[in-house]
Protein backbone atom coordinates (compact mmCIF):
# COMPACT_ATOMS: atom_id res chain seq x y z
CA UNK A 1 0.00 0.00 0.00
CA UNK A 2 1.18 3.47 -0.68
CA UNK A 3 0.03 5.63 2.16
CA UNK A 4 0.55 9.36 2.29
CA UNK A 5 0.02 11.49 5.36
CA UNK A 6 -3.28 13.32 5.45
CA UNK A 7 -2.70 17.08 5.23
CA UNK A 8 -2.95 18.87 8.56
CA UNK A 9 -4.04 22.43 9.27
CA UNK A 10 -4.37 24.23 12.60
CA UNK A 11 -7.77 25.62 11.78
CA UNK A 12 -9.72 26.46 8.62
CA UNK A 13 -12.34 28.79 7.20
CA UNK A 14 -15.46 27.51 5.49
CA UNK A 15 -14.24 28.94 2.18
CA UNK A 16 -10.88 27.19 2.33
CA UNK A 17 -12.43 23.95 3.49
CA UNK A 18 -14.83 23.89 0.56
CA UNK A 19 -12.22 24.88 -2.00
CA UNK A 20 -9.26 22.79 -0.84
CA UNK A 21 -10.89 19.68 0.62
CA UNK A 22 -14.61 19.26 -0.07
CA UNK A 23 -14.51 20.11 -3.81
CA UNK A 24 -11.52 17.88 -4.59
CA UNK A 25 -12.78 15.30 -2.05
CA UNK A 26 -9.50 15.22 -0.15
CA UNK A 27 -9.18 14.31 3.52
CA UNK A 28 -7.74 16.74 6.05
CA UNK A 29 -7.02 16.86 9.77
CA UNK A 30 -7.98 20.12 11.47
CA UNK A 31 -6.00 20.18 14.66
CA UNK A 32 -7.47 22.99 16.72
CA UNK A 33 -10.99 23.44 15.44
CA UNK A 34 -12.89 22.55 18.60
CA UNK A 35 -10.86 24.34 21.24
CA UNK A 36 -13.77 26.63 22.06
CA UNK A 37 -16.17 23.75 22.61
CA UNK A 38 -16.84 22.86 26.28
CA UNK A 39 -16.16 19.29 25.11
CA UNK A 40 -12.52 20.14 24.46
CA UNK A 41 -11.90 20.55 28.19
CA UNK A 42 -14.60 18.26 29.55
CA UNK A 43 -14.70 15.16 27.40
CA UNK A 44 -12.60 12.36 28.79
CA UNK A 45 -13.40 8.83 29.95
CA UNK A 46 -14.20 9.85 33.54
CA UNK A 47 -16.69 12.46 32.36
CA UNK A 48 -18.37 9.89 30.12
CA UNK A 49 -18.63 7.53 33.12
CA UNK A 50 -20.24 10.37 35.10
CA UNK A 51 -22.87 11.30 32.55
CA UNK A 52 -23.61 7.87 31.06
CA UNK A 53 -22.42 5.38 33.71
CA UNK A 54 -25.80 3.74 34.20
CA UNK A 55 -26.52 3.26 30.51
CA UNK A 56 -26.22 -0.23 29.10
CA UNK A 57 -23.97 -0.06 26.04
CA UNK A 58 -23.69 -2.39 23.04
CA UNK A 59 -20.16 -3.74 22.53
CA UNK A 60 -18.40 -5.16 19.49
CA UNK A 61 -15.20 -7.16 19.25
CA UNK A 62 -13.18 -8.27 16.23
CA UNK A 63 -14.88 -11.57 15.58
CA UNK A 64 -15.51 -12.33 11.91
CA UNK A 65 -19.01 -11.86 10.55
CA UNK A 66 -21.22 -14.79 11.45
CA UNK A 67 -24.40 -15.51 9.56
CA UNK A 68 -26.31 -15.72 12.85
CA UNK A 69 -25.54 -12.09 13.66
CA UNK A 70 -27.80 -9.50 12.13
CA UNK A 71 -26.33 -6.47 10.37
CA UNK A 72 -24.33 -4.57 13.06
CA UNK A 73 -25.67 -6.67 15.94
CA UNK A 74 -23.65 -6.24 19.20
CA UNK A 75 -21.53 -9.04 20.70
CA UNK A 76 -21.86 -8.11 24.37
CA UNK A 77 -23.44 -5.56 26.68
CA UNK A 78 -22.22 -3.79 29.81
CA UNK A 79 -22.98 -0.75 31.93
CA UNK A 80 -21.02 2.23 30.61
CA UNK A 81 -19.29 2.63 33.99
CA UNK A 82 -18.01 -0.97 33.92
CA UNK A 83 -16.91 -0.58 30.32
CA UNK A 84 -14.93 2.57 31.06
CA UNK A 85 -13.28 0.87 34.05
CA UNK A 86 -12.27 -1.92 31.70
CA UNK A 87 -10.89 0.53 29.12
CA UNK A 88 -8.78 2.23 31.74
CA UNK A 89 -7.60 -1.01 33.35
CA UNK A 90 -6.41 -3.10 30.40
CA UNK A 91 -6.35 -3.49 26.62
CA UNK A 92 -9.70 -4.80 25.39
CA UNK A 93 -11.12 -5.66 22.01
CA UNK A 94 -14.52 -4.34 22.97
CA UNK A 95 -15.63 -1.23 21.15
CA UNK A 96 -18.76 0.88 21.11
CA UNK A 97 -19.77 1.57 17.54
CA UNK A 98 -22.37 4.05 16.27
CA UNK A 99 -23.85 5.11 19.59
CA UNK A 100 -26.35 7.91 19.08
CA UNK A 101 -25.66 10.73 21.56
CA UNK A 102 -28.94 12.54 21.08
CA UNK A 103 -30.91 9.48 21.95
CA UNK A 104 -28.69 8.07 24.71
CA UNK A 105 -27.13 11.01 26.57
CA UNK A 106 -28.78 14.25 25.43
CA UNK A 107 -26.88 16.43 27.96
CA UNK A 108 -23.74 15.90 25.89
CA UNK A 109 -25.27 18.14 23.26
CA UNK A 110 -24.50 21.12 25.46
CA UNK A 111 -20.79 20.46 25.04
CA UNK A 112 -20.45 20.91 21.29
CA UNK A 113 -21.94 22.83 18.40
CA UNK A 114 -22.49 21.88 14.79
CA UNK A 115 -19.62 23.48 12.91
CA UNK A 116 -20.26 25.39 9.72
CA UNK A 117 -18.08 23.80 7.05
CA UNK A 118 -20.53 24.89 4.35
CA UNK A 119 -22.20 21.47 4.35
CA UNK A 120 -25.56 20.63 5.84
CA UNK A 121 -24.85 18.31 8.78
CA UNK A 122 -27.39 15.68 9.75
CA UNK A 123 -28.38 16.97 13.17
CA UNK A 124 -30.09 13.79 14.31
CA UNK A 125 -27.05 11.62 13.92
CA UNK A 126 -24.10 12.58 16.12
CA UNK A 127 -22.51 9.19 16.81
CA UNK A 128 -19.98 8.13 19.44
CA UNK A 129 -17.31 5.43 19.11
CA UNK A 130 -15.18 4.05 21.96
CA UNK A 131 -12.27 1.62 21.95
CA UNK A 132 -9.64 0.08 24.21
CA UNK A 133 -5.90 0.17 23.66
CA UNK A 134 -5.04 -1.72 20.44
CA UNK A 135 -8.64 -2.32 19.48
CA UNK A 136 -9.56 -1.49 15.92
CA UNK A 137 -12.54 -0.88 13.72
CA UNK A 138 -12.24 -3.06 10.60
CA UNK A 139 -11.82 -1.40 7.22
CA UNK A 140 -15.24 -0.25 6.00
CA UNK A 141 -17.08 2.59 4.40
CA UNK A 142 -20.33 3.95 5.76
CA UNK A 143 -23.59 2.74 4.28
CA UNK A 144 -24.67 6.25 3.22
CA UNK A 145 -21.28 7.25 1.74
CA UNK A 146 -21.58 10.48 3.74
CA UNK A 147 -18.97 13.20 4.25
CA UNK A 148 -17.78 12.42 7.78
CA UNK A 149 -16.26 14.73 10.38
CA UNK A 150 -14.59 12.55 12.98
CA UNK A 151 -13.70 14.33 16.24
CA UNK A 152 -11.31 12.50 18.51
CA UNK A 153 -11.06 12.74 22.32
CA UNK A 154 -8.87 11.26 25.04
CA UNK A 155 -5.71 9.67 23.70
CA UNK A 156 -4.47 8.71 20.26
CA UNK A 157 -5.89 6.97 17.26
CA UNK A 158 -4.43 5.84 13.94
CA UNK A 159 -6.56 5.90 10.81
CA UNK A 160 -5.97 4.49 7.33
CA UNK A 161 -8.16 5.76 4.47
CA UNK A 162 -8.85 4.87 0.84
CA UNK A 163 -11.16 6.44 -1.69
CA UNK A 164 -13.71 4.40 -3.69
CA UNK A 165 -11.36 4.30 -6.70
CA UNK A 166 -9.21 1.82 -4.79
CA UNK A 167 -11.97 -0.81 -4.54
CA UNK A 168 -10.31 -3.14 -7.04
CA UNK A 169 -7.28 -3.54 -4.77
CA UNK A 170 -8.88 -3.87 -1.35
CA UNK A 171 -10.45 -7.37 -1.34
CA UNK A 172 -13.89 -5.92 -0.88
CA UNK A 173 -16.54 -8.43 0.22
CA UNK A 174 -19.49 -8.48 -2.21
CA UNK A 175 -22.86 -7.26 -0.83
CA UNK A 176 -21.22 -5.59 2.14
CA UNK A 177 -19.31 -2.50 3.25
CA UNK A 178 -16.16 -4.26 4.40
CA UNK A 179 -12.95 -5.80 3.13
CA UNK A 180 -11.57 -9.23 4.08
CA UNK A 181 -11.46 -9.23 7.85
CA UNK A 182 -8.20 -11.19 8.01
CA UNK A 183 -6.16 -8.38 6.44
CA UNK A 184 -3.98 -6.53 8.92
CA UNK A 185 -3.95 -3.06 7.40
CA UNK A 186 -1.24 -1.90 9.79
CA UNK A 187 1.12 -4.60 8.50
CA UNK A 188 -0.30 -6.31 5.41
CA UNK A 189 0.94 -9.69 4.25
CA UNK A 190 1.59 -9.02 0.54
CA UNK A 191 2.18 -12.71 -0.20
CA UNK A 192 -1.39 -13.34 0.73
CA UNK A 193 -2.85 -10.03 -0.44
CA UNK A 194 -0.74 -8.94 -3.44
CA UNK A 195 -3.37 -6.53 -4.80
CA UNK A 196 -2.93 -4.32 -1.76
CA UNK A 197 0.45 -3.27 -3.11
CA UNK A 198 -1.41 -1.24 -5.73
CA UNK A 199 -3.68 0.56 -3.29
CA UNK A 200 -3.03 4.25 -2.78
CA UNK A 201 -4.38 5.70 0.43
CA UNK A 202 -3.81 7.94 3.39
CA UNK A 203 -2.72 7.65 6.99
CA UNK A 204 -3.35 10.03 9.88
CA UNK A 205 -2.83 10.09 13.61
CA UNK A 206 -5.45 11.82 15.68
CA UNK A 207 -4.98 13.36 19.10
CA UNK A 208 -7.40 14.89 21.57
CA UNK A 209 -9.42 17.61 19.86
CA UNK A 210 -8.37 16.84 16.28
CA UNK A 211 -11.05 16.49 13.61
CA UNK A 212 -10.57 14.30 10.57
CA UNK A 213 -12.60 15.06 7.45
CA UNK A 214 -13.33 11.91 5.45
CA UNK A 215 -14.77 12.61 1.99
CA UNK A 216 -17.75 10.74 0.53
CA UNK A 217 -17.57 6.96 0.63
CA UNK A 218 -14.01 6.89 1.95
CA UNK A 219 -12.90 3.55 3.37
CA UNK A 220 -11.63 3.87 6.93
CA UNK A 221 -9.74 1.64 9.33
CA UNK A 222 -9.30 3.01 12.84
CA UNK A 223 -6.91 1.75 15.47
CA UNK A 224 -7.07 2.97 19.06
CA UNK A 225 -3.43 3.42 20.12
CA UNK A 226 -4.69 4.30 23.61
CA UNK A 227 -8.18 3.98 25.10
CA UNK A 228 -10.29 6.81 23.79
CA UNK A 229 -13.43 7.86 21.98
CA UNK A 230 -14.63 9.89 19.02
CA UNK A 231 -17.72 11.58 17.72
CA UNK A 232 -18.74 11.58 14.06
CA UNK A 233 -20.94 14.17 12.41
CA UNK A 234 -22.06 13.61 8.86
CA UNK A 235 -23.31 15.38 5.76
CA UNK A 236 -25.17 13.62 2.99
CA UNK A 237 -23.28 12.52 -0.14
CA UNK A 238 -23.57 15.23 -2.82
CA UNK A 239 -22.06 13.39 -5.74
CA UNK A 240 -25.04 11.76 -7.51
CA UNK A 241 -23.12 8.54 -8.05
CA UNK A 242 -22.35 8.27 -4.33
CA UNK A 243 -25.89 9.24 -3.40
CA UNK A 244 -27.16 6.52 -5.73
CA UNK A 245 -24.89 3.94 -4.12
CA UNK A 246 -26.12 5.05 -0.68
CA UNK A 247 -29.74 4.45 -1.68
CA UNK A 248 -28.83 1.09 -3.15
CA UNK A 249 -26.99 0.06 0.04
CA UNK A 250 -29.74 1.20 2.37
CA UNK A 251 -32.75 -0.04 0.48
CA UNK A 252 -31.48 -3.08 -1.39
CA UNK A 253 -28.01 -4.35 -0.51
CA UNK A 254 -28.42 -4.83 3.24
CA UNK A 255 -31.84 -6.46 2.93
CA UNK A 256 -30.60 -8.78 0.22
CA UNK A 257 -27.59 -9.70 2.34
CA UNK A 258 -29.75 -10.35 5.41
CA UNK A 259 -32.08 -12.49 3.36
CA UNK A 260 -29.23 -14.57 1.96
CA UNK A 261 -27.80 -15.04 5.47
CA UNK A 262 -31.13 -16.41 6.58
CA UNK A 263 -31.51 -18.66 3.56
CA UNK A 264 -28.00 -19.96 3.12
CA UNK A 265 -26.32 -19.38 6.47
CA UNK A 266 -22.57 -19.60 6.79
CA UNK A 267 -22.26 -20.89 3.22
CA UNK A 268 -23.27 -17.42 2.02
CA UNK A 269 -20.64 -15.70 4.19
CA UNK A 270 -17.91 -18.15 3.18
CA UNK A 271 -18.73 -17.78 -0.51
CA UNK A 272 -18.56 -13.98 -0.27
CA UNK A 273 -15.22 -14.16 1.50
CA UNK A 274 -13.88 -16.42 -1.23
CA UNK A 275 -15.21 -14.14 -3.96
CA UNK A 276 -13.42 -11.17 -2.43
CA UNK A 277 -10.17 -12.91 -3.37
CA UNK A 278 -11.08 -14.47 -6.70
CA UNK A 279 -12.68 -11.30 -8.06
CA UNK A 280 -9.81 -9.09 -6.97
CA UNK A 281 -7.19 -11.41 -8.41
CA UNK A 282 -9.08 -12.01 -11.64
CA UNK A 283 -9.38 -8.30 -12.30
CA UNK A 284 -5.67 -7.84 -11.81
CA UNK A 285 -4.65 -10.99 -13.67
CA UNK A 286 -3.17 -12.59 -10.54
CA UNK A 287 -3.73 -16.34 -10.28
O1 LIG B 1 -13.78 5.20 15.41
C2 LIG B 1 -14.29 4.13 15.13
O3 LIG B 1 -14.18 3.14 15.88
C4 LIG B 1 -15.05 4.02 13.87
C5 LIG B 1 -15.47 5.34 13.33
C6 LIG B 1 -16.29 5.22 12.11
O7 LIG B 1 -16.43 4.19 11.53
C8 LIG B 1 -16.98 6.43 11.59
O9 LIG B 1 -16.80 7.53 12.14
O10 LIG B 1 -17.72 6.29 10.61
FE1 LIG C 1 -17.52 4.37 9.67
pLDDT at residue 32, rounded to an integer = 94
Contacts of 9 (CB under 8 A, 6+ apart): 28, 29, 30, 31
Q: Tell me the C-alpha distance between 222 and 161, whole Å.
A: 9
Q: Domain residues for 247?
A: 2-284
pLDDT at residue 204, rounded to an integer = 98
Query: Is the CB of residue 220 below 6 angstroms from any atom belonging to ligand 1?
Result: yes
Query: Is the CB of residue 212 below 6 angstroms from any atom belonging to ligand 1?
Result: no
Q: Sort residue 248 into left (φ over 0), alpha (ψ -120 to 50) or beta.
A: alpha
pLDDT at residue 97, rounded to an integer = 87
Q: Sort residue 186 into left (φ over 0), alpha (ψ -120 to 50) or beta.
A: alpha
pLDDT at residue 123, rounded to an integer = 85
Q: At 217, which CATH number? A: 2.60.120.650
Query: Is the CB of residue 254 below 6 angstroms from any atom belonging to ligand 1?
Result: no
Query: Is the CB of residue 272 below 6 angstroms from any atom belonging to ligand 1?
Result: no
Contacts of 268 (CB under 8 A, 6+ apart): 67, 260, 261
Cα of 84 to ligand 2 centre, how many Å? 22
Query: Is the CB of residue 280 below 6 angstroms from any atom belonging to ligand 1?
Result: no
Q: Please state the separation of Cα 70 from the chain's center in Å.
A: 19
Cα of 154 to ligand 1 centre, how many Å? 15
Q: Please state the separation of Cα 179 from the chain's center in Å.
A: 13
pLDDT at residue 70, rounded to an integer = 64
> pLDDT tens per residue, the chain (287 residues)?
999 999 999 999 999 999 999 999 999 999 999 999 999 999 999 999 999 999 999 999 887 767 676 656 788 899 999 999 999 999 999 999 888 877 889 999 999 999 999 999 998 778 999 999 999 999 999 999 999 999 999 999 999 999 999 999 999 999 999 999 999 999 999 999 999 999 999 999 999 999 999 999 999 999 999 999 999 999 999 999 999 999 999 999 999 999 999 999 999 999 999 999 999 999 988 87
Q: What is this structure's pTM?
A: 0.94
Name beta bridge partners: 129: 230
Q: Tell me the C-alpha distance between 249 and 217, whole Å.
A: 12
Cα of 81 to ligand 1 centre, how many Å? 21
How many domains in the chain? Answer: 1
Q: Are strands 76-79 and 56-59 parallel, antiparallel or unpaired?
A: antiparallel
pLDDT at residue 72, rounded to an integer = 65
Report which of 132, 134, 140, 144 is spatially closest to residue 233, judged by C-alpha positions.
144
Which ligand 1 atom is the nearest neighbour of the CA of 220?
Answer: 7
Complete DSSP assignment for the chain: -EEEEPEEES---HHHHIIIIITTT--EEETTTTTTSHHHHH-SHHHHHHHHTTSEEEEB-SPPP-TTS-TT--SEEEEHHHHHHHHHHS----EEEEEEHHHH-GGGGGG-----SSS-B-TT--EEEEE-TT-EEEEE--TT--EEEEEEESS-EEEEEE-GGGGGGTTBPTTSSBB-TT--TTS--TTT-GGGGG-EEEEEEE-TT-EEEE-TT-EEEEEESSSEEEEEEEE---SHHHHHHHHHIIIIIHHHHHHHHHHHTHHHHHHHHHHHHHHHHHHHT--
Cα distances from 60 to residues 24, 99, 152, 209, in angstroms, run 34, 12, 19, 24
Query: Is the CB of residue 155 below 6 angstroms from any atom belonging to ligand 1?
Result: no
Residue whose Cα lies nearest atom 8 of ligand 1: it is 232
Cα of 263 to ligand 1 centre, how many Å? 30
Amino acid sequence: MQLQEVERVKTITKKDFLKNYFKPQKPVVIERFVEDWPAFKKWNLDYMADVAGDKTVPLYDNRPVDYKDGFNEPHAKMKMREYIDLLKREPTKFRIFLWNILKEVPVLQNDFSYPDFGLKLMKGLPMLFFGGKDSYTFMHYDIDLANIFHFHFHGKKQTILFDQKQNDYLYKIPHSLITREDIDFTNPDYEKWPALKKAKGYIAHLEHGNVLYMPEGYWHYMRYLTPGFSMSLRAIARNPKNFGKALYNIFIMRHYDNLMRRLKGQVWIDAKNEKAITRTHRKLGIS
